[in-house]
Amino acid sequence: MAETAPRFSGPKRVFSGVQPTGNLHLGNYLGAIRKFVDLQEDQEALYCIVDLHAITVAQDPEALRAQTREIAAAYMAAGIDPQKAIIFHQSAVSAHAELAWIFNCVARMGWLERMTQFKDKAGKDSERASVGLFDYPVLMAADILAYKATHVPVGEDQKQHLELARDIAGKFNKDFHAEDFFPLPEPLIKGPGARIMSLKDGCAKMSKSDPSDLSRINLTDDAAMIAKKIKKAKTDAEPVPENVEGLKGRPEVENLVGIYSALSGQSVEEVLAAYGGQGFGVFKPALAELAVDKLAPISEEMRRLQNDPAFLESQLEAGAEKANAIAVPILREVKQIVGFVV
Ligand code: AQP
C-alpha cells in the first residue's frame, strides 16, 4: 500500500513520542529514547509526550500529570537537550487533534481494522475498547505530519503504524491534488534494541502494561532491583552459546545477549565470543553490572529533575510554543487545501 519514492523537498525533520503511561522501561530507552539523543545533533527534532494517546485507556488525572513530567525528566536525563530538540506535551498543541480529525476522513476503516496493536491491546473485548484506542494510529499520523516530519525513530512494534502514516500522507496528497505536500515519513527502526523482550517470556515484548514488574527493567529501578530482575530472568539449563546459530530456539537467551549488546555497543558476535560456553551464573552478574552502569546515572538525574516540577513544566511550555510555531502554519495550509474558510 505505502508509496515508496518520496519527492518531498522540505527539510529533514525528526518526530517521535512516548506515552506518559508509567513504568518507562529499558525497551522504551533502547528502542526509542536513546536514538532520540543521537538524532538531535544533526537535524531539527521534536520529542513529544503523547498524553492524548495515553487517555485511549483509563488514566488517573493526577497520575497522568505526574507521568507527563516523568517522561520530560527521562528525556532530559537520557541526554535530550531542550536547547537542541523540542520537548513538549501533545495536548498543548491543538494541531495534533485537528489534523487527526481531517485524517479520520482520509483513512479507510479497512486500514485500521488491520492494525495488530489494537487487536492485542483491546483483546477479546474489543467492543468495549474506546474509539480512541481504535483511532490511535490516525492520531499518530497526525502527530508526525503536523510537522511534516520526515524521519520517525521508533521500536519495531510501531512499524505497522508508520506504514499507515505513509498511506494517509500519500492518500491526502492524491485526494487533494496536493502532490508532495506531506512527506512519506521514514521509520528509523534498525539497530540494537529495536525489540527488547520481556525478562519472563522471550516471545513477548517488554511492556509497560505487563502485570509482572519482574518482566521489565524500569528506568526508575535502583541497582539492587536491576540486579534482582536480571538474576530472576528466565533462561535455560544450557550455557551461553558460542555463536549466533546457537541462539536459535532460545528466545530468552537471545534477548539477554541482545540487551548486553545494545547496552555495551558490542556486536552480538563479540558478546558471544566473550561469554560463550560460560554459565548464566557468570553472564547475568556481568549483564547486571553493565545495566546498572548505564542506567543508574539516568535514574539518578530523573529523580533530581522530578524534584522540580515547576522547572519541568516550564520546559514543556517553552517546547510547546516552538512546536506550535511549526504546526500552526502547516495546519492552516491543510485547511486551505481541504476547502475550509481560513
Ligand atoms: N520492548 C520494546 N523494545 C523496543 N522498543 C520499544 N518501545 C516500546 N516497547 C519496546 C518503543 O518505545 C517507544 C515509546 O512507546 P510508547 O510509550 O508509545 O508505548 P508502547 O509502544 O505501547 O510501549 P509499551 O511500553 O510496551 O506500552 P504498552 O504496555 O502500553 O504496550 C515507541 O517508539 C516504541 O516502539
State pLDDT tens for residues 18-28. 999 988 999 99
Q: Which domains, ranges and CATH numbers included, belong to the chain?
A: 13-194+309-338 (3.40.50.620), 213-303 (1.10.240.10)
Please say if the pLDDT value at position 192 is more than 90: no
215 lines ligand 1 (CB under 6 A): no
Please determine, for residue 4, whether its predicted confidence score (pLDDT) is greater than 80: no
Cβ of 18 closer than 6 Å to ligand 1, yes or no, is yes
Residue with cell 515484548: 205
Q: Judge contact between 86 and 323, C-beta under 8 A.
A: yes
Among 120, 208, 218, name the best residue to mutate to test ligand 1's pocket (greatest count of ligand atoms within 8 A of Cβ). 208
Q: Is 21 in the pocket of ligand 1 (CB under 6 A)?
A: yes
Identify the pLDDT of residue 199.
98
Q: Does the annotation mark 228 as catalytic?
A: no
- Report, as an integer, the average pLDDT of 305-323: 98
Q: In this predicted structure, what is the pLDDT of residue 125?
A: 86
- State which of 28, 52, 201, 210 you would mutate to test the pocket of ligand 1, scoring each by most atoms of that ligand within 8 A of its C-beta: 28
Residue, of 1 and 201, whose pLDDT is higher: 201
Catalytic: 335?
A: no
State the SS3 of 100-155: HHHHHCCCCHHHHHCCHHHHHHHHHHHHHCCHHHHHHHHHHHHHHHCCCCCEEECC
Task: Indicate whether 3 pLDDT > 90.
Answer: no
* Helix (H) or strand (E) segment spanning residue 49: strand 44-49
With 50 as the cut, is the pLDDT of residue 208 above it? yes
Q: Note if 208 is an active site residue.
A: yes
Grid cell of 56 as nine digits: 485511549
Q: Does residue 40 surpass a pLDDT of 80?
A: yes
pLDDT averaged over the chain? 95
Ligand 1 centroid–CA 196 distance in Å is 9
- Give CA–CA dist 300/15, Å, rounded: 26
- Number of helices (H), then strands (E), belonging to the chain: the values are 14, 5
pLDDT tens by residue, 233-290: 999 999 999 999 999 999 999 999 999 999 999 999 999 999 999 999 999 999 999 9
Say how far apart CA 81 and CA 315 lie, in whole Å. 10
The answer, yes or no, to whether residue 2 has pLDDT greater than 50, is no
The C-alpha cell that represents 236 in the structure block: 535455560
Average pLDDT over residues 183-200: 95
pLDDT at 145 exceeding the cut of 50: yes
Q: Is 196 in the pocket of ligand 1 (CB under 6 A)?
A: yes
The single residue of 208, 228, 234, 294 carrying the catalytic annotation is 208
pLDDT at position 36 over 90 = yes
Asked if pLDDT for residue 311 goes beyond 80, the answer is yes
Q: Could you tell me the pTM of the whole model?
A: 0.94
Looking at the predicted structure, is the pLDDT value of residue 84 above 70?
Answer: yes
